[in-house]
Amino acid sequence: MKTVRIIALRQDRKRLLEHLQDSALVQIKSSEKSRRGFTRVNVSPQMQVFERNVDLTQQALKILDNAKPEKAGMLASFKGRREIDPDEIGVIAANAKEVIEACSRIVELDKECSDNSAEQIRIKTQLAQLESWNRLDIPLNTGDTKSTAVFIGSLPEQYSEQRLKEALAAENPKLEFETEIIYSEPNLTNAVIFAPKSQKTMADEALRALGFARPMSPTHKIPKVKAQRLRDQSQRLLRENEQAQQEIASFADMRDKIKCTQDYFRFRSDKYRVINSLDHSKHVFIIEGYIPEEDCEKLETLCTRVATCVVEFGEAGDNAPVKLKNNKFAEPAQGILTMYAAPGATDIDPSPVLAFFFYFFFGMMFSDAGYGILMVIATGLMIKLFKPDKKMRNNLKLFQFCGVSTTIWGLIFGSIFGDAPAALYNMFTGSNVVMAHSISNMSDPTPALLPWPVIDPQKDALTLMIISIAFGLVHILVGMGCKFIVCIKQKDYPGAFFDTGLWMLMLIGFAVLAAGLITTPVLITVGAVIAVACAVGLVLTQGRGKKGIVGKAIGGLASLYSITSYISDLLSYSRLLALGLTTGVMAQVFNMLATMMGTNVLGIVFMIVIFLLGHVINIGLNALGAYVHTMRLQYVEMFSKFYEGGGKEFEPFSLNSKYIKIQEDK
């Protein structure tokens, strides 16, 4: 990675920035303050307009999707962005005003619908309140007459007319009144009370003592009439909402234009954000950033072609962003790496090693040739038919390589949709055949469909466990080897040879010793000598950072405790056996269930349904398990040995779009 500084005339700014954005070669740096003698151009108002337009189009698309969902298949998410000719950008810009007006109308209609819905809720509440007043034949806000005080309201208890009269009389025996109960239920009584106007104060005090309350929303209309008007209003609002939704749906044909316009304003917003961060003088402006070393010549050619400028390159230093570059085999695994962390300044790019072991372990866990072939075919068709973007294409290629590995391991384990070929053969012929003979039972006289011996996870579990741990040891040693290389690059030779090299040799010694237990005693001696020698070396060197002889000795002895962590790491690889066994056993169970009904018509239908459903479930569960546990082995067991991370990915100034992309050949 290199730093780059471009000094160009202000009159060429628009043209130069557009070409830089289109080429995606440079990650532009921004600083809070301008350098001495330069100023910043404030284009925030224009940038805010573009950002508002992006937000507006996003909001309009969301409203459109609710009103008239876009027809898309189950696999639409794999489809890449629509590719357009560069000349179409001008057409999109010319139509932008019309599209923004349409989006504004969509949002306005949606707001009307929201307001109407809120009003309908208010009407519903009012109707609920008026329902108990339906029998009242005078308005709720009826006032006093010349000689009579009128009280219309509610009491918090259930009263009959007799009981209400008794309660009022108990409050004030001198009070003269007449009552009419309009509605009564537990905890509520609606009533009208009439009293002489001269006793209005006395009546008011008596009613207040009983908890009397006037209606919250009194109306000058009779309740029944008011309720009908509210229902009519609710129906009118409902019709308006239906019309608004129809008008919103009528904009569905503009969905593609809205998407293109959104990306257009996103391009412009990004460009103006960059302009905001650049230093300007009266005649020139300065761009500073990072660029991959292999693109320096290309950038210099582009800049001198489109602007009057000076281009300077320099060393990037440790804080430079990271751009990963790998071959077609390792590139799909870069996504797995960056999910963990981009490489730091002192790291090496582990993508090739990560890719190999990810494919290898995934296949060993999924371990069915039928499933693997399906993965290879499905991912290949998706890549060919949908032409996905680079990120999705890499994800599909990742699973395609995993499918190849799964197929190979499936043939090693003798699993093709479990034991489906043998189960179907036995079902329709009545014969007794097996998929393949296990390496531990080659003398089995039963005919086998596969001509080669296989490792049967059920019959050869111990053998497969040993193989899994052996692969785990190789995986860990590769991680430690990466640490060795990192230390050498940093010229940390004691760390390379004492902290890493001795542990690697010690683990190799234990592996040789273990191999000797099942082969020849000579290897036991060789392995023990290597392990003991390395242990002595660790005791003598691991405390070198401590003070005093005692501290160094204690530090060296304590370092041997780390052997327990290596043992636990190795045992983690038993999951290779466990998941491989699970995939095969579940497949065999579904095959057994599918063939249990016989060869009659009902049995054939039952077999097809159970076979398809069972294997779909098995693929979903165990593919997910293999993915998660394979990733764990990379992150926890290997990366912990050497990988620091903490770097920042290279993010060039580019046409950052969601729906469209410019044809690359242009």
* Distance (Å, whole) CA 454 – CA 441: 10
Beta strands in 466-577 (DSSP E): none
Which residue type sits at 104? S
598: left (phi over 0), alpha (psi -120 to 50) or beta: left
Residue in 463, 486, 192, 457 with CA at minimum distance from that of residue 350: 486
Q: Reduced to 3 states, what is the DSSP secondary structure of residue 312?
A: strand
pLDDT at 470: 94
Q: Are 466 and 455 in contact (CB under 8 A)?
A: no
Contact status, residue 435 vs residue 450, Cβ threshold 8 Å: yes
Type of residue at 177: F
Q: Which amino acid is at 91?
A: V
What tokens does 85 get?
């000719």
Burial of 328 (0-12, 13-18, 19+ CB in 10 A): exposed
* Burial (0-12, 13-18, 19+ Cβ within 10 Å), 85: exposed
Cα–chain center distance at 463: 39
Q: Would you give the end-to-end CA distance of the chain in angstroms?
A: 26
The C-alpha angle 642, 320, 392, rounded to 5 degrees, equals 75
The answer to whether residues 395 and 338 touch, using CB atoms and an 8 Å cutoff, is no
Taking the CA atoms of the chain, what radius of gyration do you get in angstroms? 39
Q: What is the pLDDT of residue 521?
A: 85
Distance CA 516, CA 462 (A): 17
**Whole-angstrom distance, CA of residue 102 vs CA of residue 508:** 70
- Pairing state of beta strands 27-28 and 284-291? antiparallel
Q: What is the mean pLDDT of the chain?
A: 90
Distance CA 658, CA 262 (A): 8
pLDDT at 666: 42
Condensed to tens digits (0 to 9), the pLDDT of residues 482-512 reads 999 999 988 888 888 988 899 999 999 999 9
Work out the widest C-alpha separation in the chain, in whole angstroms: 124
Residues 614, 423 contacting (CB under 8 angstroms): no
Q: Which of 573, 384, 561 is nearest to 476 (CA)?
A: 573
pLDDT at 72: 67
Of 179, 149, 168, 160, nearest to 211 by C-alpha is 168
Amino acid at 285: F
The rounded distance, in Å, linking the Cα atoms of 271 and 249 is: 33
**Cα 220 to Cα 578: distance, rounded to the nearest angstrom:** 79
Q: What is the DSSP letter of 34?
A: P
CA nearest to 393, candidates 72, 75, 78: 78
Residues of the chain with pLDDT below 50 are 666
pTM of the model: 0.82
Per residue, the 3-state secondary structure of 156-212, as one string, reads CCCCCHHHHHHHHHHHCCCCCCEEEEEEEECCEEEEEEEEEHHHHHHHHHHHHHCCC
Which residues, 6+ apart, have CB-to-CB distance to 38 below 8 Å?
279, 280, 281, 286
Domains of the chain as residue ranges with CATH: 2-94+256-315 (no CATH), 142-214 (3.30.70.2750), 331-366+368-441+448-456+574-642 (no CATH), 463-571 (no CATH)
Contact yes or no for 592/612 (Cβ under 8 A): no
Pull the structure tokens for residue 515: 């191999």
Structure tokens that stand for 387 in this block: 């032409």
